[in-house]
Amino acid sequence: MTATIEKPAVSTDRRIVYRSSGMPTQDGAGVKLTRLVGTPKLPDLDPILMLDTFRSDNPNDYVAGFPEHPHRGFETVSYMIKGSIAHLDNHGGKGIVTDGGVQWMTAGRGVAHSEMPAQTNGQLFGFQLWLNLPAREKMRDPWYADIPASDIPQIDLGGGNSAKLIVGEWNGVKGAGPDRAIAPFFADVTLAANGSIDVPIPVGHNGFIYVFEGDARVGTETVRTGQLGVLSSGDRLHIEADGQGARFLVIAGKPLREPIAKYGPFVMNTQDEIRRAIQDYQSGTF
Ligand code: CO
């Protein structure tokens, strides 16, 4: 006779397993930014390849922008809290993302573009996220969308708490971003003083929070303003604010578990594919 052992139906809370204030760096034509994911200590968080933030009231920190440069094999998602980025690419894509808007660009087999930041009322504060594509979609057609702030659902979570849902699903509301193999989740959450919420990240997703106002508590850990907190696995994410309230991003995706070969703006699966990307860009076939 064999006994059947059933898994106990306990829920496991996600915890914070790593905290970081990121690494100051420069990119483009000398834009000062902070790299939060894509650093030596946190090279990636499958399927999230990179997160940069730029925040300054001094135009000299960013005015030179990002002149023309290529991308292949992944997607860039730019989210501007304050200020704007003008975008121009070699496939006829052109737009400006501004004050609460998102620019979603699927590089696929290749895009060459420029990105030029500009401030609003003296302020620039934004993020650029790189999301990986599965091997079978790395050479797909490029795609591009400007998503204005007015198209991003704002979800009332009660008690003065709210979330802007850039992509993913929350309380039956679908975010503004496209459907993708990695089922991306990206929300900008505001908690009132002493507010708390459960964030519905799918089980099995990798993810993190990035706090930019107040402090956020996850279990016994506190993630402070300017810190990234990488989440453990689990089936529940509960976040609390103290008396000052808090505002933070929650970003997560379904891991691809595929090899990553990275070289600057190209993210492929093998070194051969990287060599091919460099050749293709140099011979002008992007
Ligand atoms: Co770019």
Distance 44 CA to ligand 1 centre (A): 18
Q: What is the pLDDT of residue 8?
A: 57
- How many C-beta atoms surround the C-beta of residue 38 within 10 A? 19
Q: What is the pLDDT of residue 123?
A: 87
- pLDDT, one tens digit per residue, over 61-110 is 888 899 999 999 999 999 999 999 999 988 888 889 999 999 999 999 99
The reported pLDDT for the residue numbered 60 is: 86
Q: Ligand 1 centre and the CA of 87: distance in Å?
A: 9
Tokens describing residue 284: 């002008």
Banded pLDDT at 268 (limits 50, 70, 90):
very high
**Distances from the Cα of 148 to the Cα of 156, 176, 246, angstroms:** 19, 9, 24
How far, in Å, from the CA of 78 to the mean position of ligand 1? 9
Measure 245 CA to ligand 1 centroid, in angstroms: 33
Give the pLDDT band of residue 5 (cuts 50, 70, 90): low
Average the pLDDT over 128-134 and give the result: 98
Q: What is the distance in A from the centroid of ligand 1 to the CA of 115?
A: 6
For 16, phi then psi, to 5°, come to: -95, 120
- Mean pLDDT across the chain, nearest whole number? 94
Chain centroid offset of residue 66 CA: 19
Distance 105 CA to ligand 1 centre (A): 9
What separation in Å is there between the alpha carbon of 158 and the centre of ligand 1? 37
* Per-residue pLDDT band at 4 (split at 50, 70, 90): low
Query: What pLDDT is recorded for position 3?
Result: 56
Mean pLDDT along residues 193-208: 97
Gap from CA of 162 to ligand 1 centroid (Å): 30
Separation of CA 121 and ligand 1 centre (Å): 25
What confidence score (pLDDT) does residue 11 get?
78
Considering only residues 60 and 155, tell me which one the structure prediction assigns the higher pLDDT: 155
Q: How confident is the model at residue 285 (pLDDT cuts 50, 70, 90)?
A: confident
Ligand 1 centre from 244 Cα, in Å? 36
Q: Residue 2: its pLDDT value, please?
A: 52
Q: How confident is the model over 47-56, as pLDDT tens digits?
A: 999 999 999 8
CA of 199 to the centre of ligand 1 (A): 30
Residues 223-236 pLDDT 10s: 999 999 999 999 99
DSSP 14: -
User: 71 alpha carbon to ligand 1 midpoint, in Å?
Assistant: 7
Q: Give the pLDDT confidence score for residue 22 in this predicted structure.
A: 97
Percent of the chain whose pLDDT exceeds 90? 85
**For 273, phi and psi rounded to 5 degrees?**
-65, -30
Quick one: average pLDDT of 238-258? 98
Cα-to-centroid distance, 252 and ligand 1 (Å): 21
- Separation of 248 CA from ligand 1 center, angstroms? 24
Other beta carbons within 10 Å of 52: 20
Q: How far is the CA of 191 from the centre of ligand 1 (A)?
A: 32
What is the per-residue pLDDT across 25-52, written as a single tens digit (0 to 9) for each? 999 888 899 999 999 999 999 999 999 9
Domain annotation for the chain: domains and CATH numbers: 16-282 (2.60.120.10)
Residue 59: what pLDDT? 85
DSSP class of residue 283? Answer: T
Find the 190 Cα to ligand 1 centroid distance in Å.
28
The first and second tokens of residue 58, run together, are 């001094």
Can you give the three-state secondary structure of the chain, one letter per residue?
CCCCCCCCCCCCECCEEEEECCEEEEECCCEEEEEEECCCCCCCECCEEEEEEEEECCHHHCCCCEEEEEEECEEEEEEEEECEEEEEECCCCEEEEECCCEEEEECCCCEEEEEEEECECCEEEEEEEEEECCHHHCCCCCEEEEECHHHCCEEEEECCEEEEEEECEECCEECCCCCCCCCCEEEEEEECCCCEEECCCCCCCEEEEEEEEEEEEECCEEECCCCEEEECCCCECEEEEEEEEEEEEEEEECCCCCCCEEECCEEECCHHHHHHHHHHHHCCCC
What percent of the chain stands above pLDDT 70? 97
Q: What is the pLDDT of residues 155-196, one digit of tens each?
A: 999 999 999 999 999 999 999 999 999 999 999 999 999 999
Q: What is the pTM of this model?
A: 0.94
**267 or 9, which is more confident:** 267
Distance of CA 189 from the midpoint of ligand 1 (Å): 26
Tokens of 239: 């976040």
For ligand 1, the distance from its centroid to the CA atom of residue 145, given in whole angstroms, is 14
Spacing, Cα 70 to ligand 1 middle (Å): 7
Q: What is the mean pLDDT of residues 189-206?
A: 97
The whole-number average pLDDT for the span 118-144 is: 93
Residue 222 Cα to ligand 1 middle (Å): 33
CB 213 within 8 A of CB 183: no
How close is the Cα of 125 to the center of ligand 1, in Å?
17
- Ligand 1 centroid vs 76 CA: distance in angstroms? 7
